[in-house]
Amino acid sequence: MKEPVIHSRDLIVGLQKGLALMQLFSERHPRLSVPQAASLSGLTPSAVRRFLLTLVHDGFAETDGRHYWLTAKALRIGQAYVDSAQLPRMLRPIVEQVARNTQEHVSVGVRDGDDIVHIVRSRYSHIASPSIRPGARMPMYCTASGRLWLATLAPGALDAYFARVELCAPTPYTLTSVEAIRAELVRIGELGHALVDQEYEVGMRVLGVPLRDREGQMKASLTLTTHAARMGPEEMRERYLPALYEAQVLLRPIL
């Protein structure tokens, strides 16, 4: 689909700033004061205060007079995508089919900035994991979905990614060496799939393949998650890659 040309004169700057301010709230910053939000956003404290009070007035945030936090009403914005977007609804039948055939958790992820957001998750799951909750955001460098995306980046874009992203270690198994991750990305490009072994969550092993459109452009990733104790990496590849590749072919016309 051709992207429309949008001129800066047609943009509503206040809406941009308000949406950016809402995105400052996170697991790391569940509550923000005006000075904190101003520092994070680059806006003036007076502007931040007015934006936050507007969110409070409209029910998207609450305050104790010093700190502000989002309310459940903010979920309506994300739910609007879930309810209105056609792509997740079109992908779901095949995602559920793979989950039934493998008896494992299956999901489809898309890139949002430097994060991965899963837009479809199979209803079947024996996995108890915070990473499979709706709307969960995950880094690209230590997840199967993310590495599939990183493997498609041009050298300059990949350099820029590593320059701006802090490589933390969620688990003792996480690769945090840029050189080691780059080597893994080369391997992913050669193999056509990614396997991440307990790098994002201890005990979880994830296998993924890219989902491309008819022109060969990557649009999403299809991943399967299982407990590391169930089988080794090579057995996981042997058992589940055929199902993922079959779904990859079935999903190409949809994308």
What's the rounded Cα separation, in Å, for the pair 244 and 57?
A: 47
Is residue 82 very low, low, confident or very high in pLDDT (cuts 50, 70, 90)? low
* Residue range 166-176: mean pLDDT, rounded: 95
* Residue range 115-142: mean pLDDT, rounded: 77
- Kindly state the helix (H) or strand (E) to which residue 224 belongs, with its residue range: strand 218-227
Is residue 89 very low, low, confident or very high in pLDDT (cuts 50, 70, 90)? confident
Is residue 173 very low, low, confident or very high in pLDDT (cuts 50, 70, 90)? very high
Q: Tell me, what's the pLDDT at 140?
A: 96
Q: What is the pTM of this model?
A: 0.74
**Over the Cα atoms of the chain, what is R_g?**
20
Q: Are 95 and 104 in contact, with CB atoms under 8 Å apart?
A: no
Give the other-Cβ count within 10 Å of 207's Cβ. 24
Is residue 218 very low, low, confident or very high in pLDDT (cuts 50, 70, 90)? very high
Least reliable range by pLDDT among 51-55, 120-124, 206-210, 219-223: 120-124
User: Structural domain boundaries of the chain?
Assistant: 8-76, 85-251
More confident residue, 51 or 90: 51
Between CA 182 and CA 137, with CA 117 as vertex, the angle to 5 degrees is 85
Q: Tell me, what's the pLDDT at 130?
A: 57
* Residue range 81-102: mean pLDDT, rounded: 81
More confident residue, 10 or 218: 218
What's the rounded Cα separation, in Å, for the pair 205 and 243?
A: 16
Phi and psi at 9, nearest 5°, equal -65, -15
CATH of the structural domain 85-251, one choice from 3.30.450.40, 3.50.50.60, 2.40.110.10, 1.20.1090.10? 3.30.450.40
Q: Are 200 and 116 in contact, with CB atoms under 8 Å apart?
A: no
DSSP string, 8-46: GGG--HHHHHHHHHHTT--SS-SSEEHHHHHHHH---HH
More confident residue, 183 or 86: 183
Q: Which residues pair with 115 in a beta bridge?
A: 112, 139
Token pair for residue 26?
């996170």
* Residue range 206-218: mean pLDDT, rounded: 92
Q: Tell me, what's the pLDDT at 134?
A: 58
Is residue 16 very low, low, confident or very high in pLDDT (cuts 50, 70, 90)? confident
Phi/psi class of residue 135: alpha, beta or left (left: φ > 0; alpha: ψ in -120 to 50)? left
What's the rounded Cα separation, in Å, for the pair 47 and 14?
A: 10
Angle between helix axes 13-22 and 34-41 (nearest 10 degrees) is 110
Is residue 123 very low, low, confident or very high in pLDDT (cuts 50, 70, 90)? confident
Nearest to 1 by CA among 247, 219, 209, 222: 219
Is residue 17 very low, low, confident or very high in pLDDT (cuts 50, 70, 90)? confident
Tell me the average pLDDT of the chain. Answer: 89
What's the rounded Cα separation, in Å, for the pair 17 and 49?
A: 12
Token pair for residue 20?
């950016």
Token pair for residue 137?
């955001």
Q: Tell me, what's the pLDDT at 182?
A: 97
CATH numeric code, 8-76? 1.10.10.10
High-pLDDT (> 90) share of the chain, % = 65
> Helices (DSSP H) in 127-232: which residue ranges?
144-150, 155-164, 178-191
3-state secondary structure of 111: strand
Length of the chain: 255
